Amino acid sequence: MTAIEDRPGIAERYARALESSHLEVKTDERCSVDYLIAAGWVDESLGTLLFRLRAEFDGVRAEQRLAERNLLAAQALAAQLPSEFARDWAQRSAEEAALTERALILVHLKTLHVAKAALGRHASILATKTRFMQDDAAVMRIAGRALDAWLDPLCPRCNGTGQIGAYGEPRSICTACHGAKLRSMRLANDEAGHQFGLLLMGRMDSKCDYVAARMRRFLSQRGG
């Protein structure tokens, strides 16, 4: 979540509050603890979990960006190898290493497991309401992929730039996202499942928008 304004937005301030060790309440100014109280005040359990999870993910973006820079460096080295076979092998190895490193980063998200479980329950209910007639295991897989795509929508190959190429060298359109800057990710093998995943992601957006609006309302009464 990128703040449009120059000053930090509510999501960024909430992310900072989660990491803050200064949680004293001040009567004359808004402080970190106010954002934590505001989130706890919201009457939307899944939305609050997702809002917190995304804030936690934003907090580890620096580590993720380092992993992505390492991938770019490995890709540049791979491109210099003499044979096409060696280049392809090195490219795949670099991407696999980047995916592993990303998975290790995600382990540090404290809210991930509880949010994923809550989203799974919501997805199961949504599947029943929308008559998406697949078994619970399939619904859970779609929910997991939707959560992954929702947390990190940028293309991992080009880091959301739409272009690839080592620093100081000619840049070309990213072949993974075709310049769209976003991950090209199917949420299910079939179209019905993919569309259900997109519907679920829309619900996740709506719930987080609701949480942000309620937090703003609470904080406006707090002043500061």
Q: Identify which of 80-89, 92-101, 173-182, 205-214 has the greatest average pLDDT.
A: 205-214
> Which of these ranges, 25-39, 103-117, 199-213, has the smallest mean pLDDT?
25-39
> Which of these ranges, 103-107, 139-143, 186-190, 192-196, has the smallest mean pLDDT?
103-107
Give the C-alpha separation, 217 to 88, whole Å. Answer: 53
Of 208, 187, 144, 161, whose CA–CA distance to 1 is shortest?
Answer: 208
Considering only CA atoms, give the Rg of the chain.
20
pLDDT at 194 over 90: yes
**pLDDT tens per residue across span 155-187:** 877 777 778 776 566 778 888 788 888 877 889
pLDDT bucket at 139, cuts 50 / 70 / 90: very high
Q: What percent of the chain is modeled with pLDDT above 70? A: 62
Q: What is the mean pLDDT of the chain?
A: 76
pLDDT bucket at 52, cuts 50 / 70 / 90: confident
Predicted model pTM: 0.65
The mean pLDDT of 49-76, rounded to a whole number, is 73
pLDDT of the residue at 152: 83
pLDDT of the residue at 83: 80
Report the 3 state secondary structure along the chain.
CCCCCCCCCHHHHHHHHHHCCCCCCCCCCCCHHHHHHHHHHCCCHHHHHHHHHHHHHHHCHHHHHHHHHHHHHHHHHHHCCCCHHHHHHHHHHHHHHHHHHHHHHHCCCCCHHHHHHHHHHHHHHHHHHCCCCCCHHHHHHHHHHHHHHHHCCECCCCCCCCEECCCCCCCEECCCCCCCCECCCCCCCCHHHHHHHHHHHHHHHHHHHHHHHHHHHHHHHHCC
pLDDT bucket at 6, cuts 50 / 70 / 90: very low
**pLDDT tens per residue across span 204-214:** 999 988 888 88
More confident residue, 194 or 14: 194
Token couple for 173: 């359109």
Looking up tokens 């490193």 gives 101
Q: What are phi and psi of 173, to 5 degrees?
A: -65, 135
Contact indicator for 214, 26 with CB cutoff of 8 Å: no
